A = this chain, B = another copy of it.
């Protein structure tokens, strides 16, 4: 053993203490823990300051590239984190912040998270996760059952089978979508005669073997950007993710899909996946899944549904009909960190057929041995935490009926807000809520009147100014820090498919009240009227048209 100086030994002794001596209740961290346990919301309210600190200011606090040589006191560093990090973070659980898909968390998840982190299991293999492996398999089974509602015997046969898997738990919807399309690609280009499959021989040889001129994935133009990433990673190429136009309700146009399919077939392009969107990120609309299932079934194409957002709605018997056809999908993506109300980092892909994952099965000698029940044989990720525990607890503690109430109230609230917008003389609803998302914009009364009479060129000019105004309002509203909505760009049919900037709201937080929604409109109207950008020109232009 290397001889150590007394100082090094003493330091090592001191270091051991961070592993063995807990933070005292009256230490800075001890007090924070208690504050969070007692009232998370007021802890966040007290510590997140909506200062006029810009991103550039914050960057100055986080710009030292040197790992400090000397250790720091926990309390000192905690003070730094409170002042510089927590103070400048986003209050994602605030009922007044209705622009994100992250929402409030149930209280019981805080102590449960602590257990999960303290246990520090690694779910890649049973050796480092033991009961967490069956638990995760059960969670996947419960979600499978929510979607596919298969008979009891089905789950008893496959839920804990070593060679099968009802899905994969992962860090989020992007990895879930990539996993689903990876499975679809490998299944379409599977082993055949001398050819040992794309997994083994690669895409280049696969294409030569099958004689296709190209590959393609079809999805509506509202598909999530992660699908493009998937097409890139998987070697298909982004251009082969083909966007099909949507109708006035942001749903894929079936006739345009059929036309594209026929065209690709004629060009010898193999379509290996059709992706249905169940809850678009921007508007929350749901594709006609049953019709997509018909087409995919007829053509023998893998049918994937990206229900990262909308999947949770299956919990409600009232919303379930909106997703009709999802039970025919070969694979479904669902994010638990969205409307299943668990913390960030909990995505899932669920497979209808438990043997589908064999297309991506991996083994190694020191891990994931053949015949083992190690979860890592069927996941894109390797080492993973015991996150499934938090979803498991939520499913049990909230229960299906509890989730139904949470989902229904979010949809009701979106309906309320849509109605509220429509009764305002100076707000315009752009997309109707199907789930709890909607989009709208601010259009001053005189501008609405002017649009009735405007020439095409005038319409273009007004439209462009309205876009600038929307961007201005959203930005200043965010900076003020009182309420928050997000924004996106749509090409709505009623607006002649012009690129339209819109406010986007997601009403998932159960604590958001009608009063808050009313306040949001009041605040936006005020910001708009104070705007030195676009607003004055808009009024001048509109007045000139109206009085012409």
Give complex CA distance A21, B283 in Å: 32
Q: Is the CB of A364 within 8 A of B131?
A: no
Residues of B within 8 A of A364 (CB): 225, 228
Q: Is the CB of B204 within 8 A of A214?
A: yes
Segment of A139-147, A441-449, A525-533 in the binding face: A139-147
Give residues of chain A (410-444) contacting chain B, Cβ–Cβ below 8 Å: 412-413, 415-416
A398 at the interface (CB under 8 A from B): yes
Give complex CA distance A272, B383 in Å: 26
Give complex CA distance A202, B8 in Å: 55
Q: Is the CB of A132 within 8 A of B85?
A: yes
A261 at the interface (CB under 8 A from B): no
Name the distance in Å between A318's Cβ and chain B's nearest Cβ: 8
Q: Is the CB of B129 within 8 A of A89?
A: yes
Q: Is the CB of A107 within 8 A of B23?
A: yes
Segment of A169-177, A320-328, A461-469 in the binding face: A169-177
Residue pairs across A and B with Cβ atoms less than 8 A apart, 11 shown, are A32-B111, A89-B386, A90-B121, A92-B119, A122-B344, A196-B239, A198-B237, A199-B232, A200-B232, A202-B237, A203-B237
Residues of B within 8 A of A4 (CB): 412
Those 3 A-B pairs whose CB atoms lie nearest each other, nearest first: A235-B235, A202-B237, A174-B382
Name the distance in Å between A242's Cβ and chain B's nearest Cβ: 12
Q: Is the CB of A85 within 8 A of B235?
A: no
A282 at the interface (CB under 8 A from B): yes
From B72, B73, B237, B360, A199 is in contact (CB under 8 Å) with: B237
A114 at the interface (CB under 8 A from B): yes
Give residues of chain A (163-203) contacting chain B, Cβ–Cβ below 8 Å: 170-175, 178, 182, 185-186, 196, 198-203
A29 at the interface (CB under 8 A from B): yes
Residues of B within 8 A of A298 (CB): none
Q: Is the CB of B131 within 8 A of A88?
A: yes
Residues of B within 8 A of A263 (CB): none
Residues of B within 8 A of A119 (CB): 44, 86, 89, 92
Residues of B within 8 A of A455 (CB): none
Q: Is the CB of A160 within 8 A of B486?
A: no
A285 at the interface (CB under 8 A from B): no
Q: Is the CB of B399 within 8 A of A71?
A: yes
Q: Known interface pairs A81-B393, A145-B66, A395-B67. Does A409 touch B12 (Cβ–Cβ under 8 Å)?
A: yes
From B1, B70, B225, B367, A362 is in contact (CB under 8 Å) with: B225
Interface range on chain A: under 10, 10 to 19, 20 to 34, or 35 or more? 35 or more
Q: Known interface pairs A62-B138, A345-B345. Does A405 touch B11 (Cβ–Cβ under 8 Å)?
A: yes
Q: Is the CB of A141 within 8 A of B111?
A: no
A40 at the interface (CB under 8 A from B): yes
Q: Is the CB of B1 within 8 A of A25?
A: no
A480 at the interface (CB under 8 A from B): no
From B62, B118, B383, A43 is in contact (CB under 8 Å) with: B118
Q: Is the CB of B90 within 8 A of A128?
A: yes
A257 at the interface (CB under 8 A from B): no
Q: Known interface pairs A366-B489, A399-B71. Does A111 touch B23 (Cβ–Cβ under 8 Å)?
A: yes
Give complex CA distance A30, B107 in Å: 11
Residues of B within 8 A of A367 (CB): 225
A39 at the interface (CB under 8 A from B): yes
Residues of B within 8 A of A178 (CB): 233, 380
Give complex CA distance A154, B8 in Å: 34
Name the distance in Å between A416's Cβ and chain B's nearest Cβ: 5
Chain A 476-515, CB within 8 Å of chain B: the 1/0 string? Answer: 0010000000111100000000000000100000110000
Q: Known interface pairs A68-B400, A108-B23, A397-B72. Does A85 touch B117 (Cβ–Cβ under 8 Å)?
A: no
Give complex CA distance A511, B17 in Å: 10
Q: Is the CB of B235 within 8 A of A108?
A: no
Most chain-B Cβ atoms within 10 A of its Cβ — which of A72, A363, A397, A489? A397
A385 at the interface (CB under 8 A from B): yes
A84 at the interface (CB under 8 A from B): yes
Give complex CA distance A366, B506 in Å: 14
